[in-house]
Chain A
Amino acid sequence: MSEGFRAPSRLKSRIYSALLERQREDGPLLSLSEVKARGRRLCVFEQLVQIAPVGESAKQPNLCRVCHARALAENIENAPVYWPGCPYAQFQNR
C-alpha cells in the first residue's frame, strides 16, 4: 500500500532551518573544521570560512541563516540551488 508521497523540498528546508535554530539555541554547533574532519562535504561558503585564519568559535555559527540558498529553498519548490555540499540543494526533489 505504497503512497508515494514525497515531502515538498520547501518543507524539508524549513525543518532543517528550524532544527539548526533549535540546536544553536542550545549552544554552538559543531565547528566546520570538525564537520570536515568527519568527512562531510562543506559548501563553498563554508569552505571559505573553514580555511580562513580565524578562531574555532567563528566556524561554529549557522552560516546558512544568512545564505540566499536558504531563503530560496524555504520559499520555492525545487529552487534553483545547485551548490555542492549545500543541504538546501540536497533537499530538492529533482
Chain B
Amino acid sequence: MIASNFPAFATKGTFDLGRHVYSDSGWELSSVSFSARESGRGVNDDVALVTAVLQKDRKATAEFVNTYTDSVYAFIRRRLSPRHDLVDDLVQEVFIAAWENLTSFRGTSPLRAWLLGIARHKIEDYFRRLLQSAQSLEPEAAEELPASELDMDAIADRKRTEQRAQQVLADLPEHYRVALQWRYWEKRSAREMAEATGRSEKAIERLLARAREQFRRRWLA
C-alpha cells in the first residue's frame, strides 16, 4: 500500500504546506476521539463544572479529571510519539496549568478545546526547548543542503501513510523528528520556529533540510 502511494509524492518535489488542515474544528479535534463521558456535554455543563472546580468542590474536580484526561492524553501522546515516556508529565502539566488559569475560561468554546489549546502550547514548549538545545542547528562549513524528492505535506496529510510516517519519524534522531513534527504536523513556519527557539530562520531551514533528507532515506529504505 505504501509503495503504491510513493510515486505520487516523489513526482511533486514540493514542500508546500498550505493545504494541511489544522484547526480546532478540523484535523486537530478530529484526531482525538471523544470519550463516552464527554459526549453530550454542552458548554453550560462545562461552565457549571468549571465554577464548581473553582469553588474547590473535590467531586467536581474528580469529574473534571475523569472527563477530560483521555482527550488530553491522546492529543499529547500522538504528537510526542515515540517519546511516550514524556506524555504523563506533560498531561499533568496541562491540568495544573488549567487549574491556574481556570478563571480565564469564559465558556465561549468547549472546555475540551480550551484544554487542548493548553496542551498544544505545552507540546510546542517541548519542541522549542529541544531545538534550542540541539547542537546540529549550527551551520556546517561547505554544507550542501539535500534536495528532497518527497512531498512532506502529502505524507502528513494522507491517512493511509500516516502510520508509516510515524514509524519513520520514530526512527529519526530526536531533533530531526521534532523539527519535522513541529513544521509539518503542527503547521508552524520556519520563521515561527526560529522566533520560538532563538535560532536564525536559515538555521531552521538547514535543520529541516537535513531532517527531510534523513526522513527521505528512511522512507525509501
Tell me the A residues contacting B by CB distance below 8 Å: 1-8, 11-12, 14-16, 18-20, 22-23, 26-30, 34-35, 38, 40-42, 62, 64, 87, 90-91
Tell me whether A29 and B32 are in contact (CB under 8 A). no
Provide the bound-state CA to CA distance between A93 and B127, in Å. 31
Residue numbers in B under 8 Å from A38 (CB-CB): 52, 57, 59
Tell me the B residues contacting A by CB distance below 8 Å: 27, 30-33, 35, 52, 55-62, 64-66, 69-70, 72-74, 77-78, 88, 91-92, 95-96, 99-100, 159, 162
Tell me whether A29 and B92 are in contact (CB under 8 A). no
Q: Which residue of B lies closest to A87 (CB)?
A: B62
> What 7 A-B pairs have minimum CB-CB distances, sorted nearest first?
A87-B62, A7-B73, A2-B33, A40-B59, A5-B74, A7-B69, A29-B56
Provide the bound-state CA to CA distance between A16 and B27, in Å. 29
Tell me whether A87 and B66 are in contact (CB under 8 A). yes
Tell me whether B56 and A27 are in contact (CB under 8 A). yes
User: What is the interface of chain B mostly: helix, strand, loop, or mixed?
Assistant: helix
Residue numbers in A under 8 Å from B73 (CB-CB): 5-7, 11
User: What is the interface of chain A mostly: helix, strand, loop, or mixed?
Assistant: loop
Given A1-B31, A3-B31; A12-B58 close (CB under 8 Å): no
Give the interface centre of A15, A30, A42, A91 by most chain B CB atoms within 10 Å: A15
Provide the bound-state CA to CA distance between A23 and B53, in Å. 9
Tell me whether A35 and B59 are in contact (CB under 8 A). yes
Cβ-neighbour of A22 out of B72, B77, B96 (below 8 A): B96
Provide the bound-state CA to CA distance between A77 and B153, in Å. 39
Tell me whether A15 and B58 are in contact (CB under 8 A). no
Provide the bound-state CA to CA distance between A3 and B64, in Å. 21
Given A1-B31, A11-B88; A30-B55 close (CB under 8 Å): yes
Residue numbers in A under 8 Å from B52 (CB-CB): 38
Tell me whether A91 and B88 are in contact (CB under 8 A). no
Tell me whether B32 and A23 are in contact (CB under 8 A). no
Give the interface centre of A19, A27, A35 by most chain B CB atoms within 10 Å: A19
Residue numbers in A under 8 Å from B91 (CB-CB): 7, 11, 15
Shortest Cβ gap from B214 to chain A (Å) = 26
Cβ-neighbour of B74 out of A3, A29, A30, A35 (below 8 A): A3
Tell me whether B33 and A20 are in contact (CB under 8 A). no
Residue numbers in A under 8 Å from B78 (CB-CB): 3, 5
Provide the bound-state CA to CA distance between A90 and B69, in Å. 13
Cβ-neighbour of A16 out of B55, B57, B62, B162 (below 8 A): B62
Residue numbers in A under 8 Å from B30 (CB-CB): 1
